[in-house]
Amino acid sequence: MTALLELQDVEARYGPVHVLHGISLAVEEGSVVAVLGPNGAGKTTTLRAISGMVRRSGTIRLGGRPLKRLGPDGVARLGVAHVPEGRGTFSELSVWENLRLGAYTRRGSIQPELERVFTYFPWLSDRRRQQAGTLSGGEQQMLALARAFVHRPRLLLLDEPSLGLAPVLVAELFRIVRELNEEEGLTVLVVEQNAHLALQAAEAGYVLEAGHVVLSGSSDELRADDSVRRTYLGY
Amino acid sequence: MSAGTSAVGGLRARGWSIDPSAATVVLLLVGAAIFLLVGCLRSTTFAQLTVQGVALGSVYGSLALALVLVYRATHVINFAQGELAMFTTYIAYELMLHGLSYWEAFAATLAIAFALGTVLQVTLIRPVQHRSVIATVIVTVGLFILIDGIVNWIWGGDYKSMPSPFGLGAYNVGGVVISHLYVGMVVVVLSSVLLVWALFRFTKLGLGMRAAAMRPAAAALVGVRVDSMLAIGWGLAAVLGAVAGLMAEPSQIFLSPTLMQPILVYAFAAAVLGGLESPAGAVVGGVLIGVTLTLIVGYVPQISSELQLPFAFAVLLVILLLKPSGLFGRREVRRV
């Protein structure tokens, strides 16, 4: 079985600063995979490397196809939806325009996707004319998820979706991610500080530290691991 | 009182922000409109000057809009925008010398302007735009000098004359003589402005361009080709500039390499008055500047047309001192 996304010895740097020192990981089609680790471990950079937002070396394959030097727009066109840190909301544009941008790479009508997305986020339908910047943080995160969904991606990259959100919203968010995975077969790679929630939603996980993968395994294995428990789960 | 506040609250909830100074701006504009209307009804001279001012102002507005488009996309003022407009006007002149009719040459010139703007962005601006704002500005200043040199080299500095696009006739509206030229200028400029606006507002390409200008990184992540959008933005700006140049030429009677230099200053003033980021503000600002300048030159004998330019600079200074965000400048609403 080949993985949908495969990273082999991926290195990345910002100027002279090496951030990733040879990351290897795999995401199976139809699965949810979490990337855990402390601040500065290179979690966000891993996603940025996949999207081509940073210079990277090593091999990244999507569905067997090497991404090589593709930039972010090229990677998006291959079917990767990346919800970046800060959610990537176009705050001056309306909710509808944000959703339309999510489907920017698609041709023709996006009506079926919109209707589908409104079944997950019914409130978006009433607020399609609202300026996106005036949504609350939680609503903006939901909008980001909806925007990624109308893209109909093969792979969704989620960067710290829980950042700045109330716990109850975070739980709701992960519930929807799980639902999108189960109902729509969406493959997700999620970077998350909240290891507890991330491992609940994911089947497998990778732990990064200082630009290396220090641990990987199924969610159950990771939860059972002493160091993960002490460091990330806190018991 | 409570009804008023709740109405405002309701609008807020729907995503409208009400800037307290927005009301002042609206009052100011309504006041200006009433002033002009009353003036036009009372005096035919005033009406004639107003019409002339609106026509010239629409040209300033068109060039101001070109500046705003580039500014929104690259956060840089394109100092060469006026010279680019002048250059494309010379191209139209040349095409007419080769036998094209005015409107054939007009259409061809707009197409050439689009290509030229795009190519300039790709070849000259793209390599420096990520370095610094100053580097990009210096390139546009260099482009100003380069175009000036090229035009003087090809066509020389002497005056050329082009056929008038709208003839020399005039309408007589209740004693007010309105030349066909002024009506034509307003119609042509405003329709091109409306077309550009519709492109931005209603098409997927326009949405992509707006997204690329606002948040390039996030736009690239949804698959927008940001570099292409910036190039197209420059192309559209050059088209608006070409319209401004072609419509400015008959009002100056002759075509010369300095055609657009004063107009660029008025366009700056218009863009800053409108709030640099606001396309609608640029056009309204252009018309306001045009009307104000024309009326002042018409009624204040001490200010001859040579003093228009310093006056425009004074307007610029006053706006920058009193309200740097301009009439239509909006502070961005953002919740974290």
Q: Write the pLDDT tens digit of every residue in A71-118.
A: 999 999 999 999 998 889 999 999 999 999 999 998 888 888 889 899
The C-alpha of B23 sits at a distance from chain A's nearest C-alpha, in angstroms, of 20
Structure confidence at residue A68 (pLDDT)? 83
Q: Domains of chain A, with CATH numbers?
A: 5-233 (3.40.50.300)
Residue B335 has pLDDT above 80, yes or no: no
The mean pLDDT value for B141-159 works out to 94
User: B107 in contact with A at a CB cutoff of 8 Å?
Assistant: no
Nearest-CB residue to A77 (from B208, B223, B226): B223
- Residue A1: which pLDDT band, with cuts at 50, 70 and 90? low
Q: Percent of chain B, pLDDT > 70?
A: 92
Nearest-angstrom CA–CA distance, B26 and B281: 12
CA nearest to A108 within chain B:
B204
Tens-digit pLDDT profile for residues B81-124: 999 999 999 999 999 999 999 999 999 999 999 999 999 999 99
3-class DSSP assignment, residue B67? helix
Q: Do B207 and A77 touch (CB under 8 A)?
A: no
Residues of B in contact with A92 (CB under 8 A): 214, 332
Task: Map out the domains of chain B as residue ranges.
Answer: 76-269
Nearest-angstrom CA–CA distance, B263 and B291: 14
The mean pLDDT value for B67-80 works out to 91
Residues of B in contact with A136 (CB under 8 A): 335
Residues of B in contact with A97 (CB under 8 A): 207
Q: Do A73 and B334 touch (CB under 8 A)?
A: no
Q: pTM for the full model?
A: 0.87
Residue B10 has pLDDT above 80, yes or no: no
What's the alpha-carbon Rg for chain A, to the nearest Å? 17
Nearest-angstrom CA–CA distance, B80 and B93: 20
CA nearest to B218 within chain A:
A88
Q: Do A72 and B217 touch (CB under 8 A)?
A: yes
Residues of A in contact with B333 (CB under 8 A): 91, 131, 133-134
Nearest-CB residue to A151 (from B211, B222, B336): B222
Which of A104, A105, A124, A151 would you mutate first to test chain B, the one with the most B CBs within 10 A?
A: A104
Q: Percent of chain A, pLDDT > 90?
A: 58
Residues of B in contact with A105 (CB under 8 A): 222-223
Nearest-angstrom CA–CA distance, B239 and B112: 8
Residues of B in contact with A91 (CB under 8 A): 332-334
Residue B22 has pLDDT above 60, yes or no: yes
A17-27 sheet: strands from edge to edge: A17-27, A5-14, A56-62, A65-66
Q: Do A134 and B17 touch (CB under 8 A)?
A: yes
The C-alpha of A104 sits at a distance from chain B's nearest C-alpha, in angstroms, of 6
Tens-digit pLDDT profile for residues A221-233: 988 888 888 777 7
Structure confidence at residue B5 (pLDDT)? 43
Q: Percent of chain B, pLDDT > 90?
A: 61
DSSP states along A43-93: HHHHHHHHHTSS-EEEEEEETTEE-TT--HHHHHHTTEEEE-TTTT--TTS
Residue B125 has pLDDT above 50, yes or no: yes
- Residue A234: which pLDDT band, with cuts at 50, 70 and 90? low
Q: Do A73 and B211 touch (CB under 8 A)?
A: no
The C-alpha of A112 sits at a distance from chain B's nearest C-alpha, in angstroms, of 18
Tens-digit pLDDT profile for residues B298-328: 888 877 777 788 888 888 888 888 887 888 8
Residues of A in contact with B226 (CB under 8 A): 73
User: A136 in contact with B at a CB cutoff of 8 Å?
Assistant: yes
The tally of CA atoms less than 13 A away on the side-chain side of residue B41 is 5
- Residue A197: which pLDDT band, with cuts at 50, 70 and 90? confident
The C-alpha of A123 sits at a distance from chain B's nearest C-alpha, in angstroms, of 13
Return the minimum-mean-pLDDT range out of A67-71, B139-143, B150-154. A67-71
Residues of B in contact with A140 (CB under 8 A): 335
Residues of A in contact with B225 (CB under 8 A): 73
- Residue A193: which pLDDT band, with cuts at 50, 70 and 90? confident
* B residues 12-31 closer than 8 Å to A (CB): 12, 14-17
Q: Do B336 and A131 touch (CB under 8 A)?
A: no
More confident site: B21 or B158: B158
Structure confidence at residue B6 (pLDDT)? 45
The mean pLDDT value for B14-20 works out to 51
Q: Strands of B23-92 (E only): list them.
A: none
Residues of B in contact with A79 (CB under 8 A): none
Residue B288 has pLDDT above 70, yes or no: yes
User: A38 in contact with B at a CB cutoff of 8 Å?
Assistant: no
* ipTM entry: 0.91
The mean pLDDT value for B149-173 works out to 90
Return the minimum-mean-pLDDT range out of A163-172, B131-140, B153-162. A163-172
Tokens 């974290």 map to which residue? B336
Exposed e or buried b per residue across B270-294, where buried means at least 16 C-beta atoms within 10 angstroms of its C-beta: bbbbbbbbbbbbbbbbbbbbbbbbb
The C-alpha of B272 sits at a distance from chain A's nearest C-alpha, in angstroms, of 20
The mean pLDDT value for B144-159 works out to 94
* B residues 211-240 closer than 8 Å to A (CB): 211, 214-215, 217-226
The C-alpha of B16 sits at a distance from chain A's nearest C-alpha, in angstroms, of 7
Tens-digit pLDDT profile for residues B200-218: 999 999 999 999 999 999 9
Structure confidence at residue B57 (pLDDT)? 95
Structure confidence at residue B123 (pLDDT)? 95
Tens-digit pLDDT profile for residues A15-62: 888 899 999 999 999 999 999 988 888 999 999 999 999 989 999 999
Structure confidence at residue B1 (pLDDT)? 36
Residue B18 has pLDDT above 80, yes or no: no
Residues of B in contact with A149 (CB under 8 A): none
